[in-house]
Structure 1
Protein backbone atom coordinates (compact mmCIF):
# COMPACT_ATOMS: atom_id res chain seq x y z
CA UNK A 1 0.00 0.00 0.00
CA UNK A 2 0.94 3.66 -0.17
CA UNK A 3 1.62 3.52 3.55
CA UNK A 4 4.62 1.34 2.78
CA UNK A 5 6.28 4.18 0.91
CA UNK A 6 9.06 6.27 2.37
CA UNK A 7 10.52 9.64 1.49
CA UNK A 8 13.88 8.19 0.53
CA UNK A 9 13.32 8.98 -3.14
CA UNK A 10 11.82 5.56 -3.85
CA UNK A 11 8.38 5.15 -5.34
CA UNK A 12 6.13 2.18 -4.72
CA UNK A 13 6.39 0.12 -7.90
CA UNK A 14 8.83 0.75 -10.71
CA UNK A 15 10.59 4.03 -11.43
CA UNK A 16 9.85 6.09 -14.50
CA UNK A 17 12.89 6.96 -16.62
CA UNK A 18 12.27 10.68 -16.16
CA UNK A 19 12.38 10.36 -12.38
CA UNK A 20 16.17 10.50 -12.69
CA UNK A 21 15.89 14.06 -13.99
CA UNK A 22 12.96 15.30 -11.93
CA UNK A 23 13.07 14.19 -8.29
CA UNK A 24 9.61 15.63 -7.61
CA UNK A 25 7.87 13.08 -9.83
CA UNK A 26 7.81 10.18 -7.30
CA UNK A 27 6.37 12.46 -4.60
CA UNK A 28 3.78 13.84 -7.02
CA UNK A 29 2.66 10.30 -7.87
CA UNK A 30 2.44 9.52 -4.18
CA UNK A 31 0.24 12.56 -3.55
CA UNK A 32 -2.05 11.47 -6.38
CA UNK A 33 -2.17 7.94 -4.95
CA UNK A 34 -3.09 9.21 -1.49
CA UNK A 35 -5.76 11.56 -2.85
CA UNK A 36 -7.34 8.86 -5.00
CA UNK A 37 -7.31 6.39 -2.11
CA UNK A 38 -8.98 8.85 0.25
CA UNK A 39 -11.57 9.82 -2.34
CA UNK A 40 -12.42 6.17 -2.95
CA UNK A 41 -12.80 5.52 0.77
CA UNK A 42 -15.02 8.56 1.31
CA UNK A 43 -17.11 7.77 -1.76
CA UNK A 44 -17.75 4.37 -0.21
CA UNK A 45 -18.67 6.03 3.06
CA UNK A 46 -21.02 8.40 1.22
CA UNK A 47 -22.82 5.42 -0.28
CA UNK A 48 -23.11 3.71 3.11
CA UNK A 49 -24.54 6.87 4.67
CA UNK A 50 -26.97 7.31 1.76
CA UNK A 51 -28.33 3.84 2.56
CA UNK A 52 -29.00 4.76 6.17
CA UNK A 53 -26.02 2.99 7.69
CA UNK A 54 -22.86 3.83 9.61
CA UNK A 55 -19.51 2.15 8.98
CA UNK A 56 -18.25 2.40 12.58
CA UNK A 57 -14.81 0.85 11.97
CA UNK A 58 -13.31 3.17 9.36
CA UNK A 59 -9.53 3.04 9.24
CA UNK A 60 -6.55 2.04 7.08
CA UNK A 61 -7.32 -1.68 7.48
CA UNK A 62 -10.87 -1.18 6.19
CA UNK A 63 -9.72 -0.10 2.71
CA UNK A 64 -9.12 -2.51 -0.18
CA UNK A 65 -7.23 -1.28 -3.25
CA UNK A 66 -6.68 -2.81 -6.68
CA UNK A 67 -3.02 -1.77 -7.01
CA UNK A 68 -0.09 -0.89 -4.77
CA UNK A 69 1.92 0.72 -7.56
CA UNK A 70 2.06 4.49 -7.50
CA UNK A 71 2.67 4.45 -11.25
CA UNK A 72 -0.90 3.17 -11.57
CA UNK A 73 -2.32 5.82 -9.25
CA UNK A 74 -4.64 7.22 -11.92
CA UNK A 75 -6.30 3.80 -12.16
CA UNK A 76 -6.49 3.21 -8.42
CA UNK A 77 -9.81 1.90 -7.14
CA UNK A 78 -10.34 1.95 -3.37
CA UNK A 79 -13.26 0.24 -1.64
CA UNK A 80 -14.41 -0.15 1.94
CA UNK A 81 -14.63 -3.45 3.76
CA UNK A 82 -15.03 -4.48 7.43
CA UNK A 83 -18.78 -3.87 7.43
CA UNK A 84 -19.38 -6.32 10.27
CA UNK A 85 -19.78 -3.40 12.67
CA UNK A 86 -22.02 -1.41 10.34
CA UNK A 87 -25.05 0.00 12.15
CA UNK A 88 -28.46 0.78 10.68
CA UNK A 89 -29.61 4.32 11.46
CA UNK A 90 -32.53 4.41 9.06
CA UNK A 91 -36.12 4.45 10.22
CA UNK A 92 -36.59 0.90 8.94
CA UNK A 93 -34.07 -1.94 9.15
CA UNK A 94 -34.01 -2.32 5.36
CA UNK A 95 -30.78 -4.30 5.51
CA UNK A 96 -32.11 -6.83 8.00
CA UNK A 97 -30.24 -5.39 10.97
CA UNK A 98 -31.47 -3.50 14.03
CA UNK A 99 -33.07 -0.10 13.61
CA UNK A 100 -31.78 2.95 15.41
CA UNK A 101 -34.60 2.67 17.92
CA UNK A 102 -33.80 -1.01 18.54
CA UNK A 103 -30.19 -0.17 19.30
CA UNK A 104 -31.09 2.80 21.46
CA UNK A 105 -33.78 1.09 23.50
CA UNK A 106 -32.04 -2.28 23.67
CA UNK A 107 -28.61 -0.86 24.61
CA UNK A 108 -26.88 -3.85 23.01
CA UNK A 109 -28.95 -6.38 24.95
CA UNK A 110 -28.54 -10.14 24.64
CA UNK A 111 -30.92 -12.77 23.30
CA UNK A 112 -33.17 -12.58 26.33
CA UNK A 113 -34.07 -8.97 25.58
CA UNK A 114 -36.37 -9.82 22.71
CA UNK A 115 -35.20 -6.91 20.54
CA UNK A 116 -33.71 -7.23 17.09
CA UNK A 117 -30.46 -5.92 18.54
CA UNK A 118 -30.10 -9.29 20.24
CA UNK A 119 -29.74 -11.01 16.88
CA UNK A 120 -26.46 -9.32 16.09
CA UNK A 121 -22.98 -10.24 17.22
CA UNK A 122 -22.26 -9.24 20.85
CA UNK A 123 -19.22 -7.25 19.71
CA UNK A 124 -21.43 -5.24 17.35
CA UNK A 125 -24.00 -4.71 20.08
CA UNK A 126 -21.30 -3.51 22.46
CA UNK A 127 -19.94 -1.08 19.87
CA UNK A 128 -23.44 0.26 19.20
CA UNK A 129 -24.07 0.61 22.91
CA UNK A 130 -20.93 2.70 23.28
CA UNK A 131 -21.91 4.85 20.30
CA UNK A 132 -25.33 5.71 21.68
CA UNK A 133 -23.93 6.28 25.17
CA UNK A 134 -21.54 8.84 23.71
CA UNK A 135 -24.43 10.32 21.73
CA UNK A 136 -26.41 10.84 24.93
CA UNK A 137 -23.40 12.44 26.63
CA UNK A 138 -23.15 14.85 23.68
CA UNK A 139 -26.80 15.80 24.08
CA UNK A 140 -28.13 13.73 21.16
CA UNK A 141 -31.26 12.20 22.66
CA UNK A 142 -33.89 12.15 19.92
CA UNK A 143 -33.76 9.91 16.86
CA UNK A 144 -32.70 12.62 14.41
CA UNK A 145 -29.88 13.98 16.55
CA UNK A 146 -28.65 10.47 17.37
CA UNK A 147 -28.50 9.70 13.66
CA UNK A 148 -26.55 12.93 13.09
CA UNK A 149 -24.17 11.98 15.88
CA UNK A 150 -23.56 8.56 14.35
CA UNK A 151 -22.79 10.05 10.94
CA UNK A 152 -20.49 12.62 12.55
CA UNK A 153 -18.74 9.80 14.40
CA UNK A 154 -17.86 8.20 11.05
CA UNK A 155 -16.60 11.59 9.84
CA UNK A 156 -14.34 11.83 12.88
CA UNK A 157 -12.89 8.42 12.07
CA UNK A 158 -12.45 9.67 8.52
CA UNK A 159 -10.42 12.60 9.84
CA UNK A 160 -8.08 10.22 11.64
CA UNK A 161 -7.83 8.21 8.42
CA UNK A 162 -6.92 11.34 6.48
CA UNK A 163 -4.15 12.18 8.96
CA UNK A 164 -2.82 8.63 8.77
CA UNK A 165 -2.84 8.44 4.98
CA UNK A 166 -1.01 11.75 4.66
CA UNK A 167 1.59 11.40 7.39
CA UNK A 168 2.58 7.73 7.29
CA UNK A 169 3.35 7.47 3.54
CA UNK A 170 4.98 10.90 3.32
CA UNK A 171 7.08 10.90 6.49
CA UNK A 172 10.46 9.41 7.23
CA UNK A 173 10.03 5.67 7.65
CA UNK A 174 9.32 4.69 11.25
CA UNK A 175 8.96 8.26 12.48
CA UNK A 176 5.19 8.08 12.98
CA UNK A 177 2.38 5.52 12.94
CA UNK A 178 -1.37 5.38 13.42
CA UNK A 179 -1.49 5.25 17.24
CA UNK A 180 1.11 8.04 17.45
CA UNK A 181 -0.94 10.26 15.16
CA UNK A 182 -4.08 9.68 17.21
CA UNK A 183 -2.29 10.39 20.50
CA UNK A 184 -0.79 13.54 19.02
CA UNK A 185 -4.19 14.81 17.91
CA UNK A 186 -6.37 13.72 20.81
CA UNK A 187 -4.14 13.56 23.88
CA UNK A 188 -1.18 15.86 23.34
CA UNK A 189 -3.00 18.72 21.60
CA UNK A 190 -6.65 17.89 22.39
CA UNK A 191 -7.77 18.48 18.79
CA UNK A 192 -6.12 21.91 18.62
CA UNK A 193 -5.22 21.57 14.93
CA UNK A 194 -3.31 24.88 14.60
CA UNK A 195 -1.07 23.71 17.46
CA UNK A 196 -0.66 20.32 15.79
CA UNK A 197 0.31 22.07 12.57
CA UNK A 198 2.94 24.18 14.31
CA UNK A 199 4.36 21.10 16.02
CA UNK A 200 4.52 19.09 12.79
CA UNK A 201 6.13 21.93 10.86
CA UNK A 202 9.02 21.87 13.34
CA UNK A 203 9.84 18.20 12.60
CA UNK A 204 11.90 17.77 9.43
CA UNK A 205 11.01 14.07 9.27
CA UNK A 206 7.44 15.01 8.37
CA UNK A 207 8.25 17.78 5.90
CA UNK A 208 6.65 16.17 2.83
CA UNK A 209 3.43 15.47 4.74
CA UNK A 210 3.36 19.02 6.07
CA UNK A 211 3.99 20.43 2.60
CA UNK A 212 0.99 18.49 1.30
CA UNK A 213 -1.26 19.66 4.13
CA UNK A 214 -0.05 23.24 3.60
CA UNK A 215 -1.12 23.41 -0.05
CA UNK A 216 -3.47 26.29 -0.87
CA UNK A 217 -3.09 28.09 2.43
CA UNK A 218 -3.36 24.97 4.57
CA UNK A 219 -6.30 23.27 2.84
CA UNK A 220 -5.43 19.91 4.39
CA UNK A 221 -5.32 21.33 7.91
CA UNK A 222 -8.63 23.11 7.37
CA UNK A 223 -10.32 19.90 6.29
CA UNK A 224 -8.78 17.96 9.17
CA UNK A 225 -9.95 20.59 11.66
CA UNK A 226 -13.49 20.40 10.30
CA UNK A 227 -13.63 16.60 10.41
CA UNK A 228 -12.24 16.44 13.96
CA UNK A 229 -14.35 19.30 15.32
CA UNK A 230 -15.13 18.50 18.99
CA UNK A 231 -18.74 19.56 18.36
CA UNK A 232 -20.27 16.81 16.25
CA UNK A 233 -22.89 19.25 14.93
CA UNK A 234 -20.19 21.25 13.15
CA UNK A 235 -18.51 18.37 11.35
CA UNK A 236 -19.08 18.25 7.58
CA UNK A 237 -21.06 15.58 5.80
CA UNK A 238 -19.10 13.10 3.74
CA UNK A 239 -20.36 14.82 0.58
CA UNK A 240 -18.89 18.09 1.84
CA UNK A 241 -15.62 16.29 2.55
CA UNK A 242 -15.51 14.99 -1.02
CA UNK A 243 -16.20 18.50 -2.33
CA UNK A 244 -13.39 20.07 -0.30
CA UNK A 245 -10.58 21.43 -2.46
CA UNK A 246 -8.01 19.28 -0.66
CA UNK A 247 -9.66 16.11 -2.00
CA UNK A 248 -11.08 17.19 -5.35
CA UNK A 249 -7.69 16.84 -7.00
CA UNK A 250 -7.63 20.50 -8.01
CA UNK A 251 -4.50 21.13 -5.93
CA UNK A 252 -2.71 18.39 -7.88
CA UNK A 253 -4.19 19.41 -11.25
CA UNK A 254 -6.33 16.26 -11.35
CA UNK A 255 -9.68 17.96 -11.89
Structure 2
Protein backbone atom coordinates (compact mmCIF):
# COMPACT_ATOMS: atom_id res chain seq x y z
CA UNK A 1 0.00 0.00 0.00
CA UNK A 2 1.12 3.54 -0.63
CA UNK A 3 1.71 5.89 2.26
CA UNK A 4 -1.35 7.90 3.31
CA UNK A 5 -1.77 11.54 2.44
CA UNK A 6 -1.33 13.59 5.60
CA UNK A 7 -3.10 16.87 6.30
CA UNK A 8 -3.98 19.37 9.01
CA UNK A 9 -7.37 21.04 9.38
CA UNK A 10 -8.09 24.13 11.44
CA UNK A 11 -11.28 23.82 13.48
CA UNK A 12 -12.69 25.80 16.38
CA UNK A 13 -10.01 25.86 19.06
CA UNK A 14 -7.80 23.16 17.58
CA UNK A 15 -5.83 21.84 14.61
CA UNK A 16 -6.73 18.31 13.54
CA UNK A 17 -4.11 15.96 12.13
CA UNK A 18 -5.62 13.52 9.63
CA UNK A 19 -4.60 10.88 7.09
CA UNK A 20 -6.30 9.71 3.89
CA UNK A 21 -5.62 6.52 1.90
CA UNK A 22 -7.33 4.52 -0.83
CA UNK A 23 -10.06 5.54 -3.24
CA UNK A 24 -13.79 5.20 -3.53
CA UNK A 25 -16.59 6.50 -1.29
CA UNK A 26 -15.46 8.10 1.95
CA UNK A 27 -15.21 6.03 5.11
CA UNK A 28 -14.38 8.02 8.24
CA UNK A 29 -12.88 6.07 11.15
CA UNK A 30 -13.29 7.82 14.52
CA UNK A 31 -10.94 6.47 17.17
CA UNK A 32 -11.66 6.01 20.85
CA UNK A 33 -9.55 5.80 23.96
CA UNK A 34 -6.04 7.22 23.98
CA UNK A 35 -4.76 5.55 20.82
CA UNK A 36 -5.72 8.17 18.25
CA UNK A 37 -5.71 7.42 14.54
CA UNK A 38 -2.93 4.86 15.02
CA UNK A 39 -5.47 2.47 16.56
CA UNK A 40 -6.71 1.84 13.00
CA UNK A 41 -3.29 0.91 11.61
CA UNK A 42 -4.27 -2.76 11.43
CA UNK A 43 -7.41 -2.27 9.32
CA UNK A 44 -7.06 1.01 7.39
CA UNK A 45 -5.05 -0.38 4.47
CA UNK A 46 -7.41 -3.32 4.09
CA UNK A 47 -10.45 -1.03 3.96
CA UNK A 48 -8.65 1.34 1.58
CA UNK A 49 -8.97 -1.26 -1.17
CA UNK A 50 -12.66 -0.30 -1.34
CA UNK A 51 -12.96 3.11 0.30
CA UNK A 52 -11.25 6.43 0.66
CA UNK A 53 -10.37 5.89 4.31
CA UNK A 54 -9.90 8.93 6.54
CA UNK A 55 -8.48 8.65 10.04
CA UNK A 56 -7.61 11.42 12.46
CA UNK A 57 -6.38 12.17 15.95
CA UNK A 58 -9.17 13.65 18.07
CA UNK A 59 -8.48 17.16 19.33
CA UNK A 60 -5.92 17.18 22.12
CA UNK A 61 -4.44 13.79 21.22
CA UNK A 62 -1.25 12.88 19.38
CA UNK A 63 -0.90 15.21 16.39
CA UNK A 64 -4.12 17.20 16.93
CA UNK A 65 -3.29 20.20 19.09
CA UNK A 66 -5.50 22.44 21.20
CA UNK A 67 -5.20 26.22 21.14
CA UNK A 68 -5.86 26.09 24.89
CA UNK A 69 -4.42 22.90 26.41
CA UNK A 70 -6.65 23.35 29.45
CA UNK A 71 -9.91 23.64 27.50
CA UNK A 72 -12.82 21.53 28.64
CA UNK A 73 -13.93 18.88 26.17
CA UNK A 74 -17.43 17.95 25.07
CA UNK A 75 -19.01 15.46 22.71
CA UNK A 76 -20.75 18.04 20.52
CA UNK A 77 -17.49 19.81 19.68
CA UNK A 78 -15.73 16.53 18.90
CA UNK A 79 -18.64 15.61 16.63
CA UNK A 80 -18.31 18.97 14.91
CA UNK A 81 -14.65 18.15 14.26
CA UNK A 82 -15.72 14.94 12.53
CA UNK A 83 -18.26 16.92 10.53
CA UNK A 84 -15.55 19.31 9.32
CA UNK A 85 -13.50 16.39 8.06
CA UNK A 86 -16.54 14.99 6.22
CA UNK A 87 -17.18 18.38 4.64
CA UNK A 88 -13.56 18.65 3.57
CA UNK A 89 -13.20 15.18 2.07
CA UNK A 90 -16.75 14.45 0.85
CA UNK A 91 -18.48 17.81 0.37
CA UNK A 92 -21.20 16.54 -1.95
CA UNK A 93 -21.97 13.02 -0.76
CA UNK A 94 -22.82 11.45 2.62
CA UNK A 95 -20.11 9.19 4.02
CA UNK A 96 -19.91 5.93 5.89
CA UNK A 97 -18.61 6.20 9.44
CA UNK A 98 -17.17 3.82 12.01
CA UNK A 99 -16.63 4.89 15.60
CA UNK A 100 -15.22 2.82 18.44
CA UNK A 101 -15.57 3.41 22.19
CA UNK A 102 -15.51 7.17 22.87
CA UNK A 103 -15.27 7.60 19.09
CA UNK A 104 -18.57 5.75 18.90
CA UNK A 105 -20.09 8.37 21.19
CA UNK A 106 -18.80 11.10 18.88
CA UNK A 107 -20.31 9.24 15.94
CA UNK A 108 -23.72 8.83 17.59
CA UNK A 109 -23.92 12.57 18.19
CA UNK A 110 -22.78 13.25 14.64
CA UNK A 111 -25.59 11.06 13.33
CA UNK A 112 -28.30 12.74 15.40
CA UNK A 113 -27.01 16.27 14.69
CA UNK A 114 -26.16 15.88 10.99
CA UNK A 115 -27.88 12.78 9.59
CA UNK A 116 -27.62 14.17 6.05
CA UNK A 117 -23.84 13.64 6.23
CA UNK A 118 -23.97 9.94 7.14
CA UNK A 119 -25.06 7.12 4.87
CA UNK A 120 -24.33 4.39 7.40
CA UNK A 121 -22.81 4.33 10.88
CA UNK A 122 -21.29 1.40 12.76
CA UNK A 123 -20.85 2.25 16.45
CA UNK A 124 -18.70 -0.25 18.33
CA UNK A 125 -19.20 -0.33 22.12
CA UNK A 126 -19.91 3.39 22.68
CA UNK A 127 -19.92 3.67 26.52
CA UNK A 128 -23.04 5.86 26.78
CA UNK A 129 -23.64 4.57 30.31
CA UNK A 130 -26.29 7.22 31.03
CA UNK A 131 -28.82 5.12 29.08
CA UNK A 132 -28.46 2.25 31.57
CA UNK A 133 -30.82 1.77 34.52
CA UNK A 134 -27.85 1.65 36.92
CA UNK A 135 -26.28 4.85 35.57
CA UNK A 136 -25.70 6.30 39.08
CA UNK A 137 -23.27 3.47 39.82
CA UNK A 138 -21.21 4.37 36.77
CA UNK A 139 -21.20 8.04 37.74
CA UNK A 140 -19.72 6.92 41.05
CA UNK A 141 -17.03 4.96 39.20
CA UNK A 142 -16.08 8.01 37.13
CA UNK A 143 -15.94 10.15 40.28
CA UNK A 144 -13.65 7.59 41.96
CA UNK A 145 -11.38 7.52 38.93
CA UNK A 146 -11.05 11.30 39.01
CA UNK A 147 -10.38 11.28 42.75
CA UNK A 148 -7.75 8.59 42.32
CA UNK A 149 -6.13 10.50 39.46
CA UNK A 150 -5.84 13.63 41.60
CA UNK A 151 -4.72 11.85 44.74
CA UNK A 152 -2.62 8.91 43.55
CA UNK A 153 -1.70 9.58 39.95
CA UNK A 154 -2.22 8.14 36.50
CA UNK A 155 -1.59 4.42 36.81
CA UNK A 156 -3.70 3.83 39.96
CA UNK A 157 -6.50 5.78 38.26
CA UNK A 158 -6.17 3.66 35.13
CA UNK A 159 -6.32 0.51 37.26
CA UNK A 160 -9.50 1.80 38.91
CA UNK A 161 -11.02 2.63 35.53
CA UNK A 162 -10.07 -0.67 33.92
CA UNK A 163 -11.46 -2.64 36.87
CA UNK A 164 -14.76 -0.77 36.63
CA UNK A 165 -15.03 -1.48 32.91
CA UNK A 166 -14.33 -5.18 33.44
CA UNK A 167 -16.85 -5.51 36.26
CA UNK A 168 -19.63 -4.05 34.16
CA UNK A 169 -20.94 -2.16 37.17
CA UNK A 170 -19.95 -0.51 40.43
CA UNK A 171 -19.49 -2.99 43.26
CA UNK A 172 -17.84 -0.44 45.54
CA UNK A 173 -14.99 -1.06 47.91
CA UNK A 174 -12.48 -3.04 45.87
CA UNK A 175 -10.44 -0.71 43.73
CA UNK A 176 -9.36 -3.47 41.39
CA UNK A 177 -5.71 -2.63 41.88
CA UNK A 178 -4.80 -6.19 40.93
CA UNK A 179 -6.62 -5.95 37.62
CA UNK A 180 -5.15 -7.80 34.70
CA UNK A 181 -5.89 -4.73 32.58
CA UNK A 182 -2.88 -2.89 33.97
CA UNK A 183 -0.52 -1.96 31.11
CA UNK A 184 2.12 -4.63 30.59
CA UNK A 185 5.56 -3.64 29.30
CA UNK A 186 6.71 -5.45 26.19
CA UNK A 187 10.23 -6.82 26.15
CA UNK A 188 10.82 -5.77 22.56
CA UNK A 189 8.51 -3.85 20.26
CA UNK A 190 9.02 -3.05 16.57
CA UNK A 191 9.80 0.65 16.13
CA UNK A 192 6.34 1.51 14.77
CA UNK A 193 4.56 -0.32 17.59
CA UNK A 194 6.87 1.21 20.19
CA UNK A 195 6.14 4.72 18.87
CA UNK A 196 2.41 4.02 18.96
CA UNK A 197 2.59 2.77 22.56
CA UNK A 198 4.54 5.89 23.52
CA UNK A 199 1.90 8.15 21.96
CA UNK A 200 -0.88 6.26 23.71
CA UNK A 201 0.82 6.65 27.08
CA UNK A 202 1.33 10.36 26.43
CA UNK A 203 -2.40 10.73 25.67
CA UNK A 204 -3.60 8.90 28.78
CA UNK A 205 -3.69 11.82 31.26
CA UNK A 206 -5.75 13.95 28.88
CA UNK A 207 -8.02 11.01 28.05
CA UNK A 208 -8.67 10.11 31.67
CA UNK A 209 -9.09 13.67 32.97
CA UNK A 210 -10.93 15.36 30.09
CA UNK A 211 -12.51 12.76 27.81
CA UNK A 212 -13.75 10.08 30.21
CA UNK A 213 -15.89 12.27 32.52
CA UNK A 214 -17.31 14.35 29.68
CA UNK A 215 -18.08 11.54 27.26
CA UNK A 216 -19.38 9.05 29.82
CA UNK A 217 -21.83 11.64 31.14
CA UNK A 218 -23.24 12.17 27.65
CA UNK A 219 -26.84 11.08 27.00
CA UNK A 220 -27.71 10.35 23.36
CA UNK A 221 -31.00 11.42 21.85
CA UNK A 222 -32.67 8.01 21.79
CA UNK A 223 -35.81 9.22 20.03
CA UNK A 224 -33.69 10.72 17.26
CA UNK A 225 -31.63 7.53 17.01
CA UNK A 226 -34.85 5.57 16.64
CA UNK A 227 -35.82 7.78 13.70
CA UNK A 228 -32.43 7.12 12.11
CA UNK A 229 -32.07 3.46 13.09
CA UNK A 230 -32.17 2.27 9.48
CA UNK A 231 -28.66 3.66 8.99
CA UNK A 232 -27.26 2.70 12.42
CA UNK A 233 -25.46 -0.54 13.30
CA UNK A 234 -24.76 -1.09 17.00
CA UNK A 235 -21.92 -3.48 17.66
CA UNK A 236 -20.01 -5.14 20.48
CA UNK A 237 -17.07 -7.47 20.93
CA UNK A 238 -18.02 -11.12 21.26
CA UNK A 239 -15.53 -11.48 24.14
CA UNK A 240 -16.69 -8.45 26.13
CA UNK A 241 -20.16 -9.66 27.09
CA UNK A 242 -20.88 -8.57 30.67
CA UNK A 243 -18.30 -5.78 30.64
CA UNK A 244 -19.41 -2.18 30.96
CA UNK A 245 -18.64 -1.00 27.36
CA UNK A 246 -20.80 -3.84 26.01
CA UNK A 247 -23.95 -2.96 27.91
CA UNK A 248 -25.01 0.42 26.44
CA UNK A 249 -24.81 -0.81 22.86
CA UNK A 250 -26.78 -3.92 23.76
CA UNK A 251 -29.34 -1.78 25.60
CA UNK A 252 -29.75 0.59 22.65
CA UNK A 253 -29.96 -2.24 20.13
CA UNK A 254 -32.83 -3.77 22.10
CA UNK A 255 -34.52 -0.40 22.61
CA UNK A 256 -34.22 0.50 18.92
CA UNK A 257 -34.95 -3.05 17.74
CA UNK A 258 -31.92 -3.00 15.42
CA UNK A 259 -30.14 -6.18 16.41
CA UNK A 260 -26.62 -6.27 17.80
CA UNK A 261 -23.60 -7.10 15.66
CA UNK A 262 -20.74 -8.97 17.33
CA UNK A 263 -17.18 -8.33 16.20
CA UNK A 264 -14.29 -10.69 17.01
CA UNK A 265 -12.36 -10.05 20.21
CA UNK A 266 -13.30 -7.66 22.97
CA UNK A 267 -13.34 -3.90 23.34
CA UNK A 268 -10.09 -3.60 21.38
CA UNK A 269 -10.93 -6.23 18.79
CA UNK A 270 -9.85 -4.05 15.88
CA UNK A 271 -6.31 -4.27 17.29
CA UNK A 272 -6.30 -7.91 18.40
CA UNK A 273 -8.21 -9.35 15.40
CA UNK A 274 -7.62 -6.83 12.59
CA UNK A 275 -8.21 -9.05 9.54
CA UNK A 276 -11.47 -10.55 10.84
CA UNK A 277 -12.59 -7.17 12.16
CA UNK A 278 -12.05 -5.44 8.81
CA UNK A 279 -13.90 -8.20 6.95
CA UNK A 280 -16.96 -7.93 9.17
CA UNK A 281 -16.88 -4.14 9.16
CA UNK A 282 -16.90 -4.13 5.36
CA UNK A 283 -20.03 -6.31 5.38
CA UNK A 284 -21.73 -4.14 8.00
CA UNK A 285 -21.09 -0.99 6.00
CA UNK A 286 -22.62 -2.51 2.86
CA UNK A 287 -25.72 -4.06 4.40
Structure 2-normalised TM-score? 0.27
Specify which structure has the higher proportion of strand: 2
Larger Rg: 1 or 2? 1
Specify which structure has the higher proportion of helix: 1
Structure 1-normalised TM-score? 0.29
